[in-house]
Structure formats: C-alpha cells, structure tokens
Amino acid sequence: MKEPHKISTLEQTIMLAVLYIPKNASAPNIRKCIADKCRWQVNTSTLYSSLDLLRKRDLLTCEVKPTRLITRAIKPMRFYHVTEKGVESLNRVKQITECMWEGAQKAGNNNLQIRKT
C-alpha cells in the first residue's frame, strides 16, 4: 500500500476540490470544480475510480444522502470528506513540492515560475 503522502497529482487535486466545496462535494461537483478551477476535464470513470481508491486508503470518507433531482425524484448521492490522514497527506505533499521548487529555483533555474492565470 502507498505511504499516505504518496498521492498522485489527480488524487491531490480531487482532495483539494473536496476541501474547496466541503458541504457539496459529490462526484459531479468535484469534477466541475476541477474543470472550473484547474481547466482540467477529468474523465468520469477515472474520477470515480480515484474516489474509491482514496476511500480505501482512508484519505476520504463519504456519506450517502438523499438528493432531489430535476425530475423531482429522490436519488441517494455520495458526498465526500477529506479525513485527518488525507489532510496530513496533502500537507506533506505541499511541503515536498515547495521544497523541490525552491531548490530548483535556487539552483539557477530561473525559468521555473508558477504562472498565474
């Protein structure tokens, strides 16, 4: 099993999206958040697969709530939450990434810049 802080860019982005929309973090809303904020279209099956893996690794939990659809039918929907272990993983990945960016820039790689869009 992966160490808690060893998460892919996609997994990191999913967990950050869940934190970004904590009260409404269903899979469709997570996908929309990633598309809107990151300009990254995540395949639906890839998203669901990643959500399941993150749950199995105890980085996410979910609760099922009844949700009213446009058709007025009520359908159960999963809403996701980042666990304490998930937050620790995100913090560790952030620390590692910032350290490596800083080191690369100090080594004279001035063309490495985070672009603001």
The domain ranges of the chain are: 9-106
User: Among residues 32, 8, 5, which one has the least CA distance to residue 20?
Assistant: 32
Whole-number pLDDT of residue 97: 86
Separation between Cα atoms, residue 112 and residue 101, nearest integer Å: 8
E strand spans, the chain? 60-68, 74-82
Give the chain's count of helices (H) and strands (E).
4, 2
Pair of tokens at residue 3: 């160490």
The structure tokens 């058709």 sit at 71
Whole-number pLDDT of residue 41: 95
Q: Which residues of the chain have pLDDT under 70?
A: 1-5, 69-72, 109-117
Whole-number pLDDT of residue 5: 64
Whole-number pLDDT of residue 106: 78
Query: What number does CATH give the domain 9-106?
Result: 1.10.10.10
Determine contact, residues 49/57, Cβ cutoff 8 Å: no
User: Among residues 15, 37, 26, which one has the least CA distance to residue 69?
Assistant: 26
Whole-number pLDDT of residue 105: 74
Whole-number pLDDT of residue 33: 96
The predicted model scores a pTM of 0.82
